Each structure stands twice: as structure tokens, then as C-alpha cells.
């Protein structure tokens, strides 16, 4: 995905290229419409003056010296006699062939407008082509013999020091402008990048993320508004968690009373009344379990859970959890197995036990009769890995993305079975131990929940 920085940089570079192309086109328009004809006329006028001066000389040495001096002043001259003899003065032409019709034009007493009619391959750059045909030609009468004189300014004359300075100045402006735009774009994008990182942090309920954007423009105003929103969200989250914690705690006593009285009623009544009393007891237990899990989840999120870290033999703990669920697996006709390497980990024993119990109970719950559930514990140089794998109903891609959300249930038909908080609690427990949890699953083939914990120091 292209970043805004890259887009702005590319847009700036494209604008500079388009500006250069537009300038190139404009330069060609001016050159072809005005400059080319004007340059041709100036060179024709100069060539005629040189031809008139050369005609006054009667001595070959004097004429040669004069033409050499003109060549030394920055002009290229080629004299061609009617017999085909050639004499060059000044810098040599790179291409020194001339068309027969050009010679015929000059020997007939006319002017050859080669600069005006020369067509090169590179538009106005053709003006600098060191070609004998890119000249003006005039007839010269010297000592009774007619010569064709072809002349053009030397490129060294065209590219004077001032021209080079001007060209360097323009190139410098282009490079500095390009670098300046890139730097300004980077400075503009930096706070937007920080805002993006802050958004990700808030999406993960990290409301303590510090946004360091100090600007007095629209982006600074956006950052200030974002900070106010962050503070309000943090306040709302704390209020929500406090409310859930308080309600969950206050519900426990009434629910325990309801369970106790429902149990007593079952001993004193018969028939439908006893059945209704058992339903009351069952639902109050489910609600009590829900409030306990909410209380635990809120405590973990607020980092207020009184955790007690100590050395735990994870293989022994997992083996205990498996044995406690063995009767459920046998009741459903599920094969439950494990392969546990001896591993010691420093953590909260009660929280980790809760996490393994939730993972295993979920695996058994969503595996049909005849299926398999397997628990493995491995250790590598990088981390400790606990896997709970089943051959159950599996998950879709959408379900995998939501499976750790609170109150989410994979099977909507089982709303009375469980609270929908188990995996959310597991994720918080794993995070509290600086670990990660993720799931691999295919619909209809089963799921594998993988927990990776760091080695204890």
C-alpha cells in the first residue's frame, strides 16, 4: 500500500517533470517561431561581411590569416572551390559533408539558409549540431574565383561561462526544490504517522499512548482534538470497567441467596414446583458464573488482579486439567490425549489454570462424538508453547477474527451454554504473562489454539 509520503513525493516529482516538459515545449515553440530565423539572418549578415572583407585581399597569406583569426574568435568556416577543394578555419566540423543542391545554390550567387531549414532529431537542441549542413552559405569571390563559404558559430562560443553559470543555477534550483519538497513532505507526514500509531493503540485499548505533536496548523488542531478524544475514551473505559466490577461484585450476595433458597425449595416441594426450583438454581448459578468471569476479566484489564507469581510445573498443571475434563470427554465419546514436556514457568498458578481450563473445555464443547482433542507442551530456545488441538467444527475466517472478543459465541444455538467470556479471559491471562495466543482453524476440520509464553528469567 502506498504511503501518503510516497504519494506526495511522487506527485511532486511528476509535477517537476511536467514543468520541465512544458518548458521544453515552450522553448521549442519560441525557437522555431522566432529564434531560428533570427539566428539564421544574423549569421548570414556576418558571413556576407566576412566574404566582402576576404574579397579585398590579393595575397593568400593575408586572406588565410584573416579567416583563421575569424575562426579563432569562435566561428567555424569551410571554403569550397568550384573544383571541390576544401579549406577549413576554426574548429573542425564533426560532419563535413554538404548536399550538392546547397553548393549549387551558393555557386549560383544565392544564400544557403542551412540554420533556418536544418531538421535534427532533438528539436531546438539541433541548433547545437556540429554539422556542415547546419550553417549559412554565401558566395565569395577571391582573385577572380568563386568559392562557397559556409559558416556557423562554434558551440564553445554558444556555451559561454555565463551560460554555464545560468545552467548550473537552474539545475541547482531544481535539485534544491526537489530536496526541499521531500523534506517538507516528510515533516508534514510525520504527525499523521503518529496519529495513525495512536489510533492503533486506542483500538487496542491502550489509552496511555503519548501523542507528541506540537503544531499551530490544522494538523496540530487535529492532534489536540485527538488527545481530548483519547482522554474521554480513557475516562469512559475506566468508568465502564468500574461499573462492571461493582455490579459483578454486588450481584454475588443476592445470587448466592437465590441459589440457597432454590436448593431448600427443592427439598420441600414436589412435581413441577421442584422442577421450577431447579431451573432457578441452575440459572442463578449461570448468572453467578457470568459475574465472576466479568469480575475477573475487568480485574485483568485494570491490572488490579492480585496476582501471585511463583514457579509452576506447567506439565503437571496441564496434566491435572486434562484429568479433570477426562470424564466429559469420555461422556461425549471423544479421545483426549496429551504430550507434555517437563517445563517450569514463573506465573500466576490460578490464572494459568483458568486459561488451560477454558481452552480445554471449549475444545471438548465444540468437538463431536468420535473426535479427538490433543494437548501438547513444548519448549524451544525462543519460547514455551502450549497447543490445544481438536477435530471439532472449526472456524470461518470471520469467526477467527472475532473469537477472542468478549461475549462472542461461535455457535449461536448454544447461547445458554457458557458465557462467551472464556477466550477473552484466556487472552488477557496470556497478555498478563507477556505471551501471545493465536488460532489456526479450518471450517469442518477443527481448530488449534496456540499459546506462546516467554522463558522465565
392 contact partners, CB below 8 Å, separation of at least 6: 363, 366, 367, 368, 371, 446, 447
d(CA 387, CA 447): 10
Q: Which domain holds residue 53?
A: 4-157
CATH of the domain at 411: 3.30.565.10
Is residue 136 located within the same domain as residue 258?
no
Q: What percent of the chain has pLDDT over 90?
A: 16
**Among 157, 191, 213, where does a domain finish?**
157
Say if residues 423 and 360 touch (Cβ distance below 8 Å). no
CATH of the domain at 72: 3.30.450
**Among 123, 157, 191, where does a domain finish?**
157
The string of pLDDT tens digits covering residues 223-253 is 888 888 888 887 777 776 666 666 666 666 6
Is residue 122 located within the same domain as residue 144?
yes
Q: Give residue 123's region: left, alpha or beta (phi > 0; psi -120 to 50).
A: left
- Quick one: average pLDDT of 92-116? 87
Total number of domains in the chain:
3
Is residue 133 located within the same domain as residue 201?
no
- Quick one: average pLDDT of 373-402? 90
- 65 pLDDT exceeds 60? yes
Is residue 334 located within the same domain as residue 432?
yes
Is residue 190 located within the same domain as residue 70?
no
**Comparing C-alpha atoms, which of 428, 382, 440, 381 is closest to residue 404?**
428
**DSSP-assigned states of every residue in 91-129:** SPPSB----HHHHHHHHTT--EEHHHH---SSGGGGGG-
Is residue 276 located within the same domain as residue 256?
yes
CATH of the domain at 241: 1.10.287.130
Dihedral angle computed from the Cα positions of residues 244, 245, 248 and 252, in that order, rounded to the nearest 10 degrees: -170
**Comparing C-alpha atoms, which of 82, 72, 80, 70 is closest to residue 43?**
70
Is residue 167 located within the same domain as residue 298?
yes
**Among 286, 305, 324, where does a domain finish?**
305
User: Counting every residue, how long is the chain?
Assistant: 457
Say if residues 159 and 121 touch (Cβ distance below 8 Å). no
Is residue 142 located within the same domain as residue 260?
no
Say if residues 358 and 327 touch (Cβ distance below 8 Å). no
- 391 pLDDT exceeds 80? yes
- 119 pLDDT exceeds 90? no
Is residue 270 located within the same domain as residue 329?
no
Is residue 327 located within the same domain as residue 289?
no
Burial of 381 (0-12, 13-18, 19+ CB in 10 A): exposed
**Comparing C-alpha atoms, which of 94, 91, 95, 105 is closest to residue 149?**
105
By three-state DSSP, how is residue 309 classified? strand
Is residue 292 located within the same domain as residue 324?
no
Strand partners, 311: 346
**Comparing C-alpha atoms, which of 312, 414, 440 is closest to residue 361?**
414
CA-angle at 295, arms to 290 and 301, nearest 5°: 125
Query: What mean pLDDT value characterizes the chain?
Result: 80
The string of pLDDT tens digits covering residues 396-452 is 888 888 888 877 776 654 444 556 777 888 888 888 888 999 999 888 888 999 999
In 31-96, alpha helices (H)? 36-56, 60-72
The string of pLDDT tens digits covering residues 27-60 is 777 777 777 788 888 889 999 999 999 888 888 8
Is residue 249 located within the same domain as residue 315?
no
d(CA 357, CA 373): 13
What pLDDT shows up at residue 304? Answer: 53
Q: Say what the pTM is.
A: 0.48
- 120 pLDDT exceeds 80? no
Dihedral angle computed from the Cα positions of residues 351, 355, 360 and 366, in that order, rounded to the nearest 10 degrees: 140
**Comparing C-alpha atoms, which of 348, 4, 221 is closest to residue 211?**
221
- 264 pLDDT exceeds 90? no
Name the more confident of 328 and 260. 328
d(CA 173, CA 267): 96
Amino acid at each position: 500500500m502506498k504511503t501518503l509520503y510516497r504519494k506526495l513525493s511522487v506527485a511532486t516529482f511528476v509535477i517537476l517533470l511536467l514543468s520541465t516538459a512544458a518548458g521544453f515545449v515552450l522553448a521549442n515553440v519560441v525557437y522555431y517561431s522566432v529564434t531560428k530565423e533570427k539566428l539564421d539572418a544574423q549569421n548570414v549578415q556576418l558571413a556576407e561581411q566576412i566574404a566582402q572583407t576576404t574579397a579585398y585581399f590579393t595575397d593568400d597569406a593575408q586572406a588565410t590569416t584573416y579567416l583563421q583569426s575569424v575562426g579563432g574568435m569562435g566561428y567555424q568556416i569551410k571554403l569550397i572551390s568550384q573544383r571541390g577543394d576544401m579549406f577549413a578555419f576554426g574548429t573542425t566540423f564533426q560532419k563535413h559533408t554538404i548536399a550538392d543542391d546547397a553548393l549549387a545554390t551558393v555557386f549560383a550567387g544565392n544564400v544557403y539558409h542551412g540554420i533556418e531549414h536544418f531538421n535534427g532529431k532533438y528539436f531546438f537542441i539541433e541548433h547545437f549540431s556540429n554539422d556542415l549542413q547546419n550553417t549559412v552559405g554565401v558566395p565569395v569571390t577571391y582573385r577572380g574565383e568563386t568559392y562557397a563559404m559556409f559558416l556557423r558559430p562554434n558551440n564553445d562560443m554558444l556555451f559561454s561561462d555565463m551560460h554555464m553559470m545560468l545552467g548550473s543555477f537552474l539545475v541547482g534550483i531544481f535539485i534544491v526544490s526537489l530536496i526541499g519538497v521531500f523534506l517538507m513532505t516528510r515533516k508534514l507526514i510525520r504527525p499523521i504517522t503518529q496519529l495513525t500509531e495512536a489510533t492503533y493503540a486506542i483500538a487496542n485499548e491502550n489509552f496511555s499512548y503519548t501523542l507528541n505533536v506540537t503544531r499551530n496548523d490544522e494538523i496540530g488542531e487535529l492532534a489536540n482534538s485527538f488527545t481530548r478524544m483519547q482522554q474521554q475514551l480513557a475516562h469512559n473505559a475506566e468508568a465502564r470497567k468500574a461499573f462492571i466490577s461493582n455490579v459483578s461484585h454486588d450481584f454475588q450476595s443476592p445470587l448466592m441467596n437465590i441459589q440457597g433458597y432454590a436448593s431448600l425449595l427443592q427439598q420441600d416441594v414436589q412435581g413441577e414446583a421442584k422442577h421450577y426450583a431447579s431451573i432457578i438454581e441452575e440459572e442463578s448459578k449461570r448468572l453467578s458464573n457470568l459475574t465472576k468471569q466479568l469480575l475477573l476479566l475487568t480485574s485483568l484489564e485494570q491490572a488490579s488482579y492480585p496476582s501471585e507469581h511463583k514457579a509452576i510445573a506447567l506439565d503437571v498443571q496441564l496434566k491435572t486439567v486434562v484429568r479433570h475434563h477426562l470424564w466429559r470427554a469420555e461422556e461425549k465419546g471423544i479421545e483426549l490425549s496429551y504430550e507434555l514436556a517437563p517445563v517450569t514457568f514463573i506465573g500466576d498458578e490460578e490464572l494459568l489454570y483458568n486459561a488451560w481450563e477454558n481452552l480445554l473445555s471449549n475444545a471438548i464443547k465444540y468437538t463431536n462424538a468420535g473426535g479427538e482433542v490433543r494437548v501438547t507442551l513444548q519448549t524451544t530456545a525462543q519460547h514455551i508453547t502450549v497447543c490445544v488441538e481438536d477435530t471439532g467444527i472449526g472456524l470461518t475466517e470471520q469467526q477467527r477474527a472475532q473469537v477472542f472478543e468478549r461475549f462472542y459465541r461461535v455457535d449461536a444455538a448454544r447461547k445458554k451454554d457458557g458465557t462467551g467470556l472464556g477466550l477473552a479471559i484466556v487472552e488477557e491471562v496470556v497478555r498478563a504473562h507477556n505471551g501471545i495466543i493465536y488460532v489456526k482453524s479450518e471450517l469442518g476440520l477443527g481448530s488449534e489454539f496456540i499459546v506462546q509464553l516467554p522463558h522465565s528469567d
